[in-house]
C-alpha cells in the first residue's frame, strides 16, 4: 500500500498511528508529498489535492483520513479501533469528528495567519480559535470517561492535541483542562504516538 505522506500533517499522523496500533505500518510504502509545491501531482491520486491518500494493494485510492483509518482497521484481526456497532461506535466516531474539527479550524487559523497584512482577517482567526477552545472544553468535560483503552476517537484526540502543541504552543491548551492534560500525558507514551510526534522539517 502506498501512502502519500507529509511528516507534519496531523491527518497523516492519524493514519500512521492507526497503522502502528494495528501492526500494518510495515506494509505502508511512504511517498513523501509536498501538496503546496507548484508541480505536485497529488491531484492525480486525490482530486482534492490533499494528503493523506492511500493506494491499496488492489490499486484503489482512498481518502480522506477517517476512510483510510477505517480501511486499515478492516485489514487486521486484532482488537478493533473502530468499534463495530452500538454506542461505543458512535462515541468513537464523534470524538474523531471533534478532533478532526480541531485540526480543520487550527489549519485554517494557521493559513490565515500567514496571509499578508491587509489580506488577513483577525475576525476569521478569532472564530477558529474560539471553536477550538470550545472543542477543548468539551473534551475536558468527557476526558474522565476516556479510560485506558484505544479507539479511533482516542487516536484522533491525541493527534489534535499534539498538533496544538506543535503549532500553537503559546495558547497552552492545558490551562484549566487538567483531566485532558493528564490523559494526554499518559496516552502520548504509546508507541503509536511517540513515534509520530510532528517535527519541523527545517
Ligand atoms: N479531511 C482531510 C484533511 C486533509 C488535509 O487537509 N490535509 C492537508 C495537509 S495537513 C492538505 O493536504 N492540504 C492541502 C490543501 O488544502 O490544499 C483528512 O482528514 O484527510
User: 3, 16, 38, 50: which to mutate for ligand 1, most atoms within 8 A of CB?
Assistant: 50
Please state, in angstroms and as integers, the Cα–Cα distance from residue 164 to each residue in 23, 77, 91, 154, following that order: 27, 33, 22, 16
- pLDDT band with cut points at 50, 70 and 90 for residue 190: very high
- pLDDT band with cut points at 50, 70 and 90 for residue 135: very high
154 pLDDT more than 60: yes
Nearest to 28 by CA among 41, 18, 40, 36: 18
One-character DSSP codes across 70-129: HHHHTT-SSS-SS--SHHHHHHHHHHHHHHHHHHHHHHHHHHHHTSPTTT--HHHHHHHH
Handedness of CA 56, 59, 65, 68 (dihedral sign): negative
Length of the chain: 202
**Residues 52-64, mean pLDDT to the nearest whole number:** 98
Report the separation in Å between the CA atom of 144 and the middle of ligand 1, taken as the mean of its atom positions. 30
**Beta-sheet pairing, 2-5 with 29-32:** parallel
**Residues 128-134, mean pLDDT to the nearest whole number:** 98
pTM of the shown model:
0.97
Beta carbons of 18 and 72 less than 8 angstroms apart: yes
Distance CA 66, CA 22 (A): 15
Q: Atom 16 of ligand 1 has which residue's CA nearest to it?
A: 50
- pLDDT band with cut points at 50, 70 and 90 for residue 199: confident
120 pLDDT more than 80: yes
Q: Atom 15 of ligand 1 has which residue's CA nearest to it?
A: 50
Binding-site residues, ligand 1, Cβ < 6 A? 9, 11, 35, 49-52, 64-65, 100
Per residue in 78-101, pLDDT (tens digit) is: 999 999 999 999 999 999 999 999
- The predicted structure's pLDDT at residue 201: 62
Amino acid at each position: 500500500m502506498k501512502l502519500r505522506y507529509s511528516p507534519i500533517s496531523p491527518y497523516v499522523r492519524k493514519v500512521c498511528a492507526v497503522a502502528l496500533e494495528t501492526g500494518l505500518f510495515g506494509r505502508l510504502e511512504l511517498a513523501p508529498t509536498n501538496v503546496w509545491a507548484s508541480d505536485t501531482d497529488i491531484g492525480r491520486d486525490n482530486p482534492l489535492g490533499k494528503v493523506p491518500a492511500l493506494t491499496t494493494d488492489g490499486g484503489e485510492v482512498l481518502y480522506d483520513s477517517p476512510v483510510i483509518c477505517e480501511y486499515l482497521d478492516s485489514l487486521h484481526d486484532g482488537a478493533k479501533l473502530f468499534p463495530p456497532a452500538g454506542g461505543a461506535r458512535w462515541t468513537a466516531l464523534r470524538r474523531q469528528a471533534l478532533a478532526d474539527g480541531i485540526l480543520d479550524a487550527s489549519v485554517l487559523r494557521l493559513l490565515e495567519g500567514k496571509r499578508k497584512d491587509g489580506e488577513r482577517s483577525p475576525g476569521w482567526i478569532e472564530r477558529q480559535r474560539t471553536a477550538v477552545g470550545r472543542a477543548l472544553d468539551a473534551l475536558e468535560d468527557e476526558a474522565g470517561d476516556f479510560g485506558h483503552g484505544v479507539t479511533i476517537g482516542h487516536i484522533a484526540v491525541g493527534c489534535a492535541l499534539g498538533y496544538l502543541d506543535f503549532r500553537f504552543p503559546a495558547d497552552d491548551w492545558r490551562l484549566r483542562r487538567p483531566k485532558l492534560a493528564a490523559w494526554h500525558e499518559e496516552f502520548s507514551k504509546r508507541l503509536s504516538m511517540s513515534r509520530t510526534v510532528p517535527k519541523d522539517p527545517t
